[in-house]
Copies of this chain bind each other. A is one copy, B any other.
């Protein structure tokens, strides 16, 4: 770890002359891979490393056991050192505030999940409690979430549609009268609970398998496009509650269009009282949100608009008996107390398994992205795999107590963090607030109008709708990501959230393939005296060496682009070995015919016009003449700049070998420059350096290769010497 001698000199030189710029000075022999391997570099012994690694593996096993246990139950690491004096007050304030938000959101999102409201309360209690023990994020608020709830609702409606529970199927004109709501809701709860079990199992197993990395495929534009689409779905699904219109609930592709159509075709049956109440709630909530935002710093805790709406509208509904007198739909029966644990309906597994994967992935990715944001802000780190395990356990265990799948919600987590929450204790207290309501005063909320819940849901969508602003931003910065956003959005709106997510992920992955393929290739020239090389078409200062073409292509060389690489090599350098060979043949024939003796071989290169038509070999027999008559150019060497090549597969290696041989047949030397040591190791396993391929044709930098090629080559005919 000491400074190499000559570098120290440089540094000293630079310091002596403090005002003048630093000097970059290198003087050494030109290296190629052969000389590097024989003289310069020697690999370190690998056996020791392996033995060390093995030793490490066994040595740590006791400490590791403890680490695994602590990892699995993070509460064991933070609770013992919980600074009660510093943190407890903040956590209590934050917990109570969050609990007060959990409550109305639980009721509202149960509507989205197509289950009776009380199940939303269960889902706001058990998983939140469990997360305290297993979670690693200190600020996120686990619980019901709009997108997940909507996905659950879609599945529940598909598996238990209204039409399955018609009491008198013959007379289906008045829908609400004939559907056996109790049986239907019981079935939907079964579906939602079984989904939660499966989601939990999937997340838990993924966590154990260290699959936390799957979240990385959900790139930001994808997630934002997807959640915006979810907001559209949720908005459309709530319209009917806001208007008090009775329609069926749709699921599957194009359901958003069917739903909107159904609502608007029944718009004449709007219940005016419901609508007025709903609009009043929306306006009030929007106003409160705005105030909270504006006076963020002055308010000790945000105004709990949602719980005010719930209490006031329940009071109004009860006082004016809106349900009985004005036909306003209300929440209805809320049983008091908790349900005993029960085993979910595993018989539904085959129908629900694909949906579970979608919900599990969306749930986890919401969780981890929010957790990371807060971790970054407060300077701690979260463990993706433990988050998966935590979320999985929350969903799995809770599902035995009749909850549906949960994850963290953006709006609630912001409340928890902004009210001063320091640790998972805040979440624990929030869950206890919900528990209190469930076991003591749940029945109070029975007259709560559904339109008030719809208002709460809609106002909470605002943040997601604001994501439409991404479109102009992305347009200005990166078009590919805009396309990902738009594909994720439109696929999710039109095909439904599950298929839409799949399409979006596949599309995002394809863009990476596209990027690795749609490579830009260029011929490089030297910037005199610097050892730097850049595109001759783009920079004025770059000059080419006579007789040498330096080809650069910013991609790896593998099956999907080896053809493109070779073609653009031939096109960009203007040296096409097929044409050269044809020209050689024609010349030989002509020479034989003319004077019947073998003249010494001359190299004859066709300089193609760079913008002209290329690869048009069918007209070859006609152009052979022309090629021969053209004045021969003197390209004797092609340097492949492999700086950006990060891997080469067997197809790529074969293609390169082929092209080097083709050029060798027409006396053009092809060398490889700036190949990374990882790629060199790849090439060794691919047995690339066999036969005519040698490590002599690999150089550590482009400049080494240029110096080698400008030097007279013993193999070349002296007539071709450029200078």
Q: Count how many chain A residues have C-beta atoms less than 8 Å from C-beta atoms of the other chain.
A: 135
Kindly list chain B residues whose C-beta atoms are within 8 Å of the C-beta of A67. 613, 616
Kindly list chain B residues whose C-beta atoms are within 8 Å of the C-beta of A325. none
The answer to the question of A74 belonging to the interface, with a C-beta cut-off of 8 Å to chain B, is yes
Partner of A531, one of B28, B513, B578: B28
Kindly list chain B residues whose C-beta atoms are within 8 Å of the C-beta of A477. 650, 685-687
A560 touches B24 (CB 8 A): no
Which residues of chain A from 518 to 552 have a CB within 8 Å of any chain B CB? 519-520, 526-532, 534-535, 537-546
A478 touches B658 (CB 8 A): no
Known A-B contacts A3-B546, A513-B513; the reply to A559 vs B220 at CB < 8 A is: yes
A582 touches B43 (CB 8 A): no
A650 touches B481 (CB 8 A): yes
User: How near does chain B come to A82, taking the closest CB pair, in angstroms?
Assistant: 9
Known A-B contacts A516-B512, A538-B44; the reply to A707 vs B219 at CB < 8 A is: no
User: How near does chain B come to A243, taking the closest CB pair, in angstroms?
Assistant: 39
Which residues of chain A from 37 to 77 have a CB within 8 Å of any chain B CB? 40-44, 49, 53, 56, 64, 67, 70, 74, 77
Docked complex Cα distance between A564 and B382 (Å): 14
B478 touches A508 (CB 8 A): no
A216 touches B559 (CB 8 A): yes
Partner of A578, one of B379, B508, B544, B563: B379
Which residues of chain A from 189 to 232 have a CB within 8 Å of any chain B CB? 213, 216-217, 219-221
Known A-B contacts A3-B545, A540-B44; the reply to A700 vs B532 at CB < 8 A is: yes
Docked complex Cα distance between A22 and B709 (Å): 11
Among listed A9-17, A157-165, A597-605, interface-contacting one: A9-17
The answer to the question of A4 belonging to the interface, with a C-beta cut-off of 8 Å to chain B, is yes
A555 touches B646 (CB 8 A): yes
Partner of A3, one of B6, B712, B723: B723
Partner of A29, one of B23, B74, B520: B23
Kindly list chain B residues whose C-beta atoms are within 8 Å of the C-beta of A650. 220-221, 474, 477-478, 481
A379 touches B6 (CB 8 A): no
Docked complex Cα distance between A675 and B11 (Å): 24
Docked complex Cα distance between A48 and B481 (Å): 30
A26 touches B25 (CB 8 A): yes
User: How near does chain B come to A578, taking the closest CB pair, in angstroms?
Assistant: 6
Closest B-chain residue to A581, C-beta based? B379
Among listed A117-125, A403-411, A617-625, interface-contacting one: A617-625
B618 touches A527 (CB 8 A): no
B685 touches A530 (CB 8 A): no
B554 touches A676 (CB 8 A): yes
The answer to the question of A81 belonging to the interface, with a C-beta cut-off of 8 Å to chain B, is yes
Known A-B contacts A44-B540, A545-B3, A644-B644; the reply to A381 vs B26 at CB < 8 A is: no
The answer to the question of A558 belonging to the interface, with a C-beta cut-off of 8 Å to chain B, is yes
Closest B-chain residue to A554, C-beta based? B646
Docked complex Cα distance between A499 and B197 (Å): 31
Which residues of chain A from 662 to 706 have a CB within 8 Å of any chain B CB? 674, 676-679, 685-687, 700-701, 703-704, 706
B28 touches A23 (CB 8 A): yes
The answer to the question of A573 belonging to the interface, with a C-beta cut-off of 8 Å to chain B, is no
Other than A2-B546, A43-B540, A382-B617, give 10 A-B pairs with Cβ distance below 8 A.
A7-B545, A14-B707, A23-B29, A24-B30, A219-B559, A376-B658, A380-B578, A535-B677, A554-B679, A644-B644
A-to-B contact residues, CB < 8 Å: 1-7, 10-11, 14-15, 21-31, 40-44, 49, 53, 56, 64, 67, 70, 74, 77-78, 81, 136, 213, 216-217, 219-221, 375-376, 379-383, 474, 477-478, 480-481, 508-510, 512-513, 515-516, 519-520, 526-532, 534-535, 537-546, 554-556, 558-564, 578, 581-582, 611, 613, 615-622, 643-647, 649-651, 658, 674, 676-679, 685-687, 700-701, 703-704, 706-708, 710-712, 723
